[in-house]
Every structure is written in structure tokens, then in C-alpha cells.
Amino acid sequence: MTLRIYNTLSGKKEDFIPLVPGKVGMYVCGPTVYDSCHIGHARSVVVFDLILRYFEKRDFDVTYIRNFTDIDDKIINRANELAVGYKDISEKYIAEFYEDMDALNVKRASIEPRATEHIKGMISLISGLINKGKAYAVDGDVFFSVETFGEYGKLSGRQLQDMEAGARIDVDDRKKNPFDFALWKSSKPHEPYWESPWGKGRPGWHIECSVMSSAFLGDTFDIHGGGKDLIFPHHENEIAQSECATGKKYARYWIHNGFININQEKMSKSLGNFKTIKDILKSYHPEAVRLFLLSSHYRSPIDFSDQSMDEATLNLEKIYTLLKRVSDIIDPLDKTEVTESGAHWIDFCEAMDDDFNSAKGIAVIFEAIRHMNRVLDDSSDQTSSQLVSQVAVIYRDIIRMTQTIGIAAERPDEFFKKKIRLAVEEKSVDVAVVERMIKDRNDARKAKDFTAADRIRDELQKMNIEIKDGPSGTTWSVAG
């Protein structure tokens, strides 16, 4: 089975054939660290985390680079507003990025370089472009000349002459073509700077990714990713710079994730509907966020709403409910290797092989859950070795799938305990009273006084407490 990936460059799904068999080199554009991360950042990071996890599950050796843009106009502006150094800003938000992404169970990349660590490489790439006549220096700025690259526009499917017609573009008389972009910017007084052949300045935005990707992955590498908005101009410009500088193909497969709307509206600062990851995690379980993000295909736009998050929360609980049920039968920590792949894992891989179709993959998880429940329902002897081995195969599949999605990482009993704890705090439930009432009810049940038992349950219900009688006693949860 071949993995197929939608390549923005060709606009088609293509068979994924890595440069070196068994290895994957992947570069993904990370955040510009000038503010807290929002749910849109989370989508991009989680989508590529999924891709990384899937490659690893399929035994690829992945070198995954995700950068931080830690020098940029927005960072400098923010620093000036607060009268602090640009590093104070970038360091603060890099730390926040890690907090948020750790919470979302995102794996660290193999290397996480920062733009400011690669100034030398940028200067040498820019010099090379000037020597080849692909770039020109004016008053301490250096611009890339888009007209020298015949293939300019191949990623975004645009033609220079088409864009000029209606585009709003800044007028800069020093540019040979309005679409020429800055490789190097001269620094104004009181701005951070680095020495360069063109004077004191700092890098333009696009150059860092060209330099860092090639530094770690080589001039040509397998996958380059990021949000859809980066296709133009960022990635288009990266291609132009890199291919002009090296004369070789730059990234081979371009992957771009779609955007998030908030209640059907574009998320924007002017609308005031920006959702930060921190805020969302105050109301929802991080794994519910992942499940929400991966329940639609990564290229589709998705709508963030309380309704969709509530759904994701319910789905997550359904998964944990099953895992809890299974944990009564087999030890969830028993990592006995099941050598053969179960049918569900094969279905899951088939879904994921089709351009990382996690929505379909998640559907396979639910099919496996139903299968498991059916097996457990049909068995009269919950300890028979035949059942245990049958369960183990399905269980193993479910774990592999949930690990790929990056959910169900907690012990099921802990998950439910935590849920109760949070609800108890939020609704200030008196645990002692609840447990007293449950005990009274169970006493009544033993005495076959079902009228009394039901009365107590009705009272609990009024207190928003739901109870469930299981084989190993009565458990309860807080509704809503």
C-alpha cells in the first residue's frame, strides 16, 4: 500500500516516494513568536504532529524540522510598545508555545531552530543570489528579483502579469518589479541588527526557511508544510530563492492545512473572535481539541463552536468508556506484543494512506470500539483465554490508532476521576454527601426497597449527579 499525499505543487494526490527509502525529511513553518498561540496555530501543529506520528508508526525514520521566527517586524513592534528587547518577546512566546503544545500532546520536532541562529547562512545565501544576478541591493536593503525566476508562481498557480491587475501592493520605487520581496532589510535606529555586506540590518521573512530547511535537510528534501495562507507569498518566495540559489529542486511535496472559522466567521483580531489555545483548554480537554481538529480532513476548512467541541468531548468519553471497560478484563499496561496487525489497524492505515484522512481513520476507531463491545457483550465468560486473546488483538489496534491520533494517552480510570474532580470543583458538589446517598441507595437496593432506591436517585439527579451501577459497584459523574 502506497501512501498518497496531496501536493500543492501539482494540485494532485501523488504517491509518496521519499528521496531516501525509509527516511522522511520534513520542514514545517512554525510560529512567529509575538503573541499567544490561537486555535489556528494548534490546527497546523497538530496536523503535522499527526503526519509525523503516522510516518513513525509506519516505521519511517523522520527528520522533522519546525522553526521559530524570532525576529520580525511584529516582534519588534511589540517590543517597542512594551519598551523591552525583542528577545524578551520571542522568549516569552516560545515558552508559551511549548506550554500550549505540550498540553495538546504534540511531540517535539527533531530540531527546532530559530531564525536568529542562522543569520550567517542567510547572508551567504543572499550574497550568492546577488552574484547570480537574482537579487539586488538598494540603500542597505536587498530584494529578490522575481522576473529572473521563470517558474515564479508555480506553487500558487499565479502569473505575475495577472496579479498586477487588481492587487493591492505596496509601492516601492526602488523595486524593479512590485512583487520583488525583501531578502534583507536595513535596520532603523533602535532596532535590532546584524552586520552584513549591505550594512546593519536584519533578514526578510522568507529567507530563514530556505536557509534552515537546507541546513538540516539538504537542498532538496521531501516535505514542506504549513498553513494554506503561506502558499503565497511565503512558500512561493522560498521556492524562488532556493531554486535560484542552488539550481536544484527545493521541496518535493508541499502540504498545506486549511483554516479554522469561529462560529462560521473568519477568525480575526478585528472581529475579536480570536480563540487562544489557553482559553480553550480552560473549557475542554486537550484530547477533545485534538479529536475535534482531526475529525475533518486537514485540508478542509473547519468551524470551531461549542457544539463541535461538545461533540468531540462526547466522542472522547466514548473512547475512554470502552478502554475502561477493557481494563477490567486485560491489564492496559500489558504491552505483550501482538505480532499480527488486526483488521482495524489495516483499515486505519488504508484511510491514512489516502492523504492522511484522519476523519476516516477516526471512524475506524469507532468501528473497532463497536466490534470490541460486541465481543465483550457476546461472551459469557469474561476470563476465558480465548476472549482475552481476541480482545488483545482489537485492543492493540485501538491503541495504535489512538496513539497515531494522539489521544487516549491517559489511564481511563484517571481520565474519569479527573473529570469528576473538575466537575466537583466547578459545581461545588459535596462528595461526602453524594457518596453517603449512593451508599443509602445501595442498601435500599439490597433490601429490595426499590421505591426508596429510586427516590434517592431522583434526588441525586436533581443535584446533577448521574449514577451507573456496574459489576464492581456504583460509579457516578456530574452531568453537564
Partner RNA sequence: GGCGGCUUGGCCAAGUGGUAAGGCAGAGGCCUGCAAAGCCUUUAUCUCCGGUUCAAAUCCGGAAGCCGCCUCCA
Under the binding rule (CB under 7 A), the answer on residue 175 touching RNA is no
Say how far apart CA 79 and CA 74 lie, in whole Å.
9
Under the binding rule (CB under 7 A), the answer on residue 439 touching RNA is no
Burial of 364 (0-12, 13-18, 19+ CB in 10 A): buried
Which of 422, 418, 111, 106 shows the shortest CA–CA distance to 293? 106
110, 321, 379, 403: which one contacts RNA (CB under 7 A)? 321
Stretch that binds RNA, among 30-38, 80-88, 191-199, 391-399 (CB under 7 A): 30-38
Under the binding rule (CB under 7 A), the answer on residue 467 touching RNA is yes
Strands 23-28 and 221-227 come out as parallel
**CB 22 to RNA: min, Å:** 26
Say how far apart CA 414 and CA 393 lie, in whole Å.
24
Under the binding rule (CB under 7 A), the answer on residue 159 touching RNA is yes
Q: Cis peptide leading into 233, omega within 30 of 0?
A: yes
**Chain residues 110-149 in contact with RNA, contact rule CB under 7 A:** none
Under the binding rule (CB under 7 A), the answer on residue 369 touching RNA is yes
191, 219, 367, 410: which one contacts RNA (CB under 7 A)? 367
Closer to RNA by CB, 245 or 322: give it: 322
Say how far apart CA 79 and CA 452 lie, in whole Å.
67
**Inter-residue contact 224 to 9 (CB < 8 Å):** no
Cell of 237: 518566495
Under the binding rule (CB under 7 A), the answer on residue 176 touching RNA is no
Q: What is the CA 424 to chain-centroid distance, rounded?
A: 31
Closer to RNA by CB, 127 or 313: give it: 313
Other CB atoms closer than 10 Å to residue 420's CB: what's the count?
A: 17
Closer to RNA by CB, 87 or 228: give it: 228
Under the binding rule (CB under 7 A), the answer on residue 233 touching RNA is yes
Q: What are the φ/ψ torsions at residue 149 (nearest 5 degrees)?
A: -115, 105
Under the binding rule (CB under 7 A), the answer on residue 476 touching RNA is no
**CB 466 to RNA: min, Å:** 6
Cell of 388: 482475552
Under the binding rule (CB under 7 A), the answer on residue 328 touching RNA is no
| Coil, strand or helix at 262 | strand
**CB 52 to RNA: min, Å:** 16
Closer to RNA by CB, 122 or 369: give it: 369
Closer to RNA by CB, 205 or 221: give it: 205
Under the binding rule (CB under 7 A), the answer on residue 423 touching RNA is no
311, 328, 413, 440: which one contacts RNA (CB under 7 A)? 311
What one-character DSSP code corresponds to residue 254? E
Closer to RNA by CB, 93 or 127: give it: 93
**Chain residues 203-232 in contact with RNA, contact rule CB under 7 A:** 205, 226-232
Instruction: Tell whether the torsion through CA atoms of 82, 85, 89 and 91 is positive or negative.
Output: negative
Say how far apart CA 475 and CA 458 lie, in whole Å.
16
Under the binding rule (CB under 7 A), the answer on residue 90 touching RNA is no
Say how far apart CA 195 and CA 35 lie, in whole Å.
27
Say how far apart CA 477 and CA 339 lie, in whole Å.
38
Number of chain residues interacting with RNA (CB under 7 A): 79
Say how far apart CA 112 and CA 462 lie, in whole Å.
52
**Chain residues 370-399 in contact with RNA, contact rule CB under 7 A:** 370, 373-374, 376-377
**CB 313 to RNA: min, Å:** 10
300, 382, 384, 464: which one contacts RNA (CB under 7 A)? 300
**Chain residues 248-277 in contact with RNA, contact rule CB under 7 A:** 257-260, 266-267
